[in-house]
Amino acid sequence: MSRRGTGTRATHQALPPAMRDAVDEFATHLAQVRNRSTHTVRAYVADLVSLLDHAVRMGCAEPADLELGVLRSWLAKQRTTGAAHSSSARRAAAARTFSGWAHRSGLLATDVAAPLATPKTRRELPAVLRADQAAALVEAPGGGTPAPVGAGLPVPRSATTTTSPSVPPGTTTTAPPATTTTTEPVPPGTATTTGPEEAAAGPEEAAAGPEEAAAGPEEAAAAGPEEEAATGPEEEAATGPEEAAAGPEEEAAAGPVPPGTATATPPQAGTVTGAVLLRDRALLEILYATGARISEVCGLDVPDVDHERRVIRVLGKGNRERTVPYGLPAQRAIDRWLAVGRPELAGSASDRALFLGARGGRLHPTMARRIVAGYARTAGLPPTSPHGLRHSAATHLLDGGADLRAVQELLGHASLASTQIYTHVSMERLRAAYRQAHPRA
């Protein structure tokens, strides 16, 4: 467990009983009544624990002692410690959500956080790839069309043969026992050292640092007063703490081939390495074709793919289900992955998961991020994440003339304001429309 998760749990346990019980009941309310995702519950609970800990230090012993001045003092302290504007906005939203719930539950005489203002957040334009760059990325695992299984993927450590000194004639040698390992081939350029931050995250390991609330544009403006600043950790380009725990099937990422090692021939059909190549191609195609979040794509099951209609059924934030179309290149990649690649990796832990890790379990978002980043480096592209592909897909749709409402539906945004940021990115489309329509252009 990371230091952050340990600190949140310890702080929770140190709260007075009344406040500790309020945190637990609030978490249950978010999960069971409001139907919030696990990531959102973790983030809100961590913010609430921080708030109540601050309140205790200011002399409060139970939720009824909370006042507006305590909330403002807590937010001011967060700003002095370097919290980003987006982090402060999310924490203010968490405080208002808790205050409203506590008032309705009888824990507070009034909704003390109702007058609490939301810190203004800077709406930064998302970085996007050009259309040709996006095409180069999705084709990196196998060229312009799905390549023969295993072609072009770097050879993992287990597939290398070490050159040995020549043996004098007549000398009998005893070969060491062969070891068979199943490793996750890493895209070229991917860092392979797994640091301590990859350890399993604890349940309280919510985003507490200033960087965790660097929301994607769709999170900057939500519909309700309790949600407008709540950032889902799955929206971040960087790995959030709750997603830093790669499943066991992802732990054996292969490192670079040691110097002096002779590489084997390219992996052939029916090999684990070849199956992983097909998976990577299908993953990249789906991410760019649908603009889906990485957590949504990794959560897909095989039955969620409708091959006849060429759509996928996605379960998004708040358990909102939507249907998203994809194109012919993605269909070809998925068909080949399901027919040739997936059977090679499938095992007892696979269940119905669409994308699998090298050991047969469901592909973890952390590994998916590494895959995207590795192929982006290989293709000589700017640093790119799955969320960058999502931004790129939305921007290219608008550049091609797609309706803003249609893009909103495709991305699964609850508010149109979340989608409008992409109109600022699509300046070329705006200029073209101006030149075509304005009489003085």
Catalytic residues: 293, 317, 387, 390, 413, 422
Half-sphere CA count of 257, side-chain side, radius 13 A = 17
Residues 6 or more apart whose Cβ sits within 8 Å of residue 10 = none
The answer to whether 149 and 258 are in contact (CB under 8 A) is no
Nearest to 193 by CA among 253, 233, 144, 244: 253
Closest-CA residue to 403 (of 412, 394, 391): 394
Query: Which of helix, strand or coil describes residue 98?
Result: helix
3-state SS assignment for residue 253: strand
Asked if residue 142 lies in contact with residue 151, where contact means CB atoms within 8 angstroms, the answer is yes
CB neighbours of 260 closer than 8 A, spacing ≥ 6? 162, 163
Contact 393, 381 (CB under 8 A): no
Residue 404 neighbours by CB distance under 10 Å: 15
Q: CA-CA distances (angstroms) from residue 290 to 141, 326, 384, 387, 398?
A: 19, 6, 17, 12, 14
Write the CB contacts of 172 (distance below 8 Å, at least 6 apart in sequence).
none
CB 385 within 8 A of CB 365: no
